[in-house]
Structure formats: structure tokens, C-alpha cells
A = this chain, B = another copy of it.
């Protein structure tokens, strides 16, 4: 049946993390691999009430077809949530998505033709790479450091492309607590990235799933908020976020804030893709947001994640000799980006780690093009401090074996 398969499917690989987890399938495996929120932190009681409230009064709108851009009251609530982060989003600019993964996909489909260039920080979010490969885009990496993507590098790459007659269409960036690197782009860099985008007519897709998960340091205004001060930047900034990390991934509710020219195209694409996000999930999310429980719940998540990040760092120091592994101290988010000595192959090591009963994600899959082999991503959020310590002990035994 090979002749019936689309060309775009030939280069797309299934998610490395999902495949390793499936292959491992051991119930006693301790996972530092996934980006799964801690299940014991779900606000089950609050979500139970929010779901029940759907059936108070007239339940029909939560069961019937709904508008493609999402329930109007939910869009208003999500605009308010976005604006608390320093943006100035209007409900009409919002599209409710079936999770933020869909947001990346919808923008890619509305914007990218095969062969178009997408710029990505090196390293970058795996599932975004998967979307852009499915869109048959050409992926071009821009180096970053502990402060995220480097604007000088961005400018250099764009100009190098221009010298070859090529013009990139968009830049994908997780500006706060990037996945996998954990880095946060400082405000000055955000402004410079936006200025470069305006200068070169580049769409900036700002993916912001983690910014509420800050447990230390000061919040940085999202790029969509800063774009207002820079002539032409708002037209070129698309913002997306999700309720997955702050309420529950199972709702599959995310949202985008889009400039008008892109909004109309994304709505058409979404209509063809799945008509609209589940109205049951939308009404549940709306009821939860209205219940007033979210701020307190996020405080609890932050506190737990801070404790777990500290526990992981303490365990790494306890079980590993100095110098074997270095890492960036996270200020929030879900991930610790760690590095072994240059030349160490963390991809080969993951098999030994699994044999020892622990799993993490090697750094290689987060890079398009050539990749350093000695990095890894450790998620600290899914398991408790005690389990983290046992996992790090197992990891150390695999490393020191």
C-alpha cells in the first residue's frame, strides 16, 4: 500500500518519548521522561463540581455542536486569563483549541507550504518538530543558551538565509520555561526577537503552556504583551496556551490569540479539522474557571513542583559524584535540562537506565540537524520527592555501572 501513502508521512517519526514509554511498559519503572502533570495534584473535587454544574439547568449547549472558535463565555474567560499575564487579548481574537498541540498544527497548516522555513530554538519542543515535519517545512535551528534563544544568532541565521535568497516564514518559541531546556527569555531578548520579526516579516508563534508554573523569580511579560509597544509586531505575533498544565490535560482545551489575518484562516482550518473542541470539555473548563478555584490550585501546583525540583537537585547531588552531571537550576516549569561530559551518549545510556528501572529523555530528539549527545531532559513533576530520590539512585547506578 506504499503507493497510497502521502509523501509527508515518509519522514515523520512517532514521538520518541511515547515510543520508549510504550516499549518499557514496566509498572515499576520510575519515569522522569514524560511531561505529565502529577495526577495526585488534580483538583478532582473542583472538576467534579465543574462537570456537575454542566448539568444544572440547560445542559443542551454542552452536548450540541458549537461555534468553531469556541464558546463565547469561555473565550472571554481565557482572554481574561491571558491578560492577567500581561497581554491585551480580546475574546474575538481567541480560538479555543483541542489542546495546545492543535494550536501549533493549525497555525502550521494555515501558514506553511512545503519547503517553507521554520526557525526553532536549539533544542526545542519535540512535538512541534513533528508538526513542522508533517507540514514538510524546512527546519532551521537557532542556537540558544541558559537565557533562551539568542537574538544575535537569530539575526545572523535570518541574514544568512537572505543571502541565499531564502526568507523564513515563522519562528516557534517557548519563551518561558522552555521544553526541554527550562530557559526563560528575558524581556530585552523578547523585544529584540520581536524587532527582528518585524524587520524580516516573520511570524512569531509564542507557545506558553508553562508560565503559570513559576516557583521562583519574577514573571516576564509574554511576547504578545510586549508586541503592543513595537510597531507592526502585534500583526506578527500569535500566542498560544493551554489548560493542560494548570487544570488537566484530559480536557484537551487550549487557546490561541491571533491577529485577524491569521484568525480567519485558523478558524477555517479548525472547522475542517474537527469542527470545534468538545463542548462538554469547554463548559467544564468554563465552570472551573468561574469557580474561582484556579489561583489557589496553581499555588498548590507551584509549591509541589518547587519542592520536587529541589528534591531532584538534592538527589542528584546525593547520588552522583561531583562533575558527572551539570544542570540549569529551573525557576519554574516541569523540566531540568542536564548535561554529562561532552562525548557521553545519553541515548545509549537510556537503555541501561531502563534496565535499572528509571527512564529519562536523551537530548538528541530535541534537535533538528546535528545534535550534541550528552544532554538529557529530566521531568521532576510527575512523581513525589521520595520516588524522585529512588529514581535518581537508580539513574546513578546505571551511570556508575
What residues make up the interface of A, taking CB atoms closer than 8 Å to B?
A: 1, 3-9, 12-15, 18, 34, 36-37, 39-40, 42, 44, 47-48, 51-52, 54-55, 59-66, 68, 97-99, 101-102, 105, 109-114, 116, 127, 130-131, 134, 169-170, 201, 203, 235-236, 244, 248-252, 259, 261-262, 265, 267-269, 271-281, 284
Contacts and interface: CB of A to CB of B under 8 A. Distances in A.
A248 B34 CA distance: 32
Contact of A60 (B42, B110, B275): B42
A363 to B, nearest CB: 21
A65 B249 contact: yes
A269 B51 contact: no
Contacts of A109: 6, 8, 134
Copies in the complex: 2
A169 B2 CA distance: 12
A279 B250 contact: yes
Tell me what chain A mostly uses at the interface: helix, strand, loop, or mixed. Answer: helix
Contacts of A276: 252
Given A1-B235, A6-B116, A15-B271, 6 more contacts: A48-B59, A63-B249, A98-B274, A252-B275, A277-B278, A278-B280
A98 B18 contact: no
Contacts of A15: 271
A3 B116 CA distance: 11
16 contacts: A1-B236, A9-B110, A18-B68, A34-B65, A37-B64, A39-B63, A42-B64, A44-B59, A63-B250, A65-B250, A98-B278, A101-B272, A250-B279, A252-B281, A274-B274, A281-B281
B278 A278 contact: yes
Contact of A281 (B7, B249, B278): B278
A132 B275 CA distance: 15
A65 B59 CA distance: 26
A260 to B, nearest CB: 9
A251 B59 CA distance: 12
A1 B259 contact: yes
Contacts of A112: 6
Contacts of A8: 109, 113
A284 B275 contact: no
Contact of A62 (B37, B110, B250, B277): B250
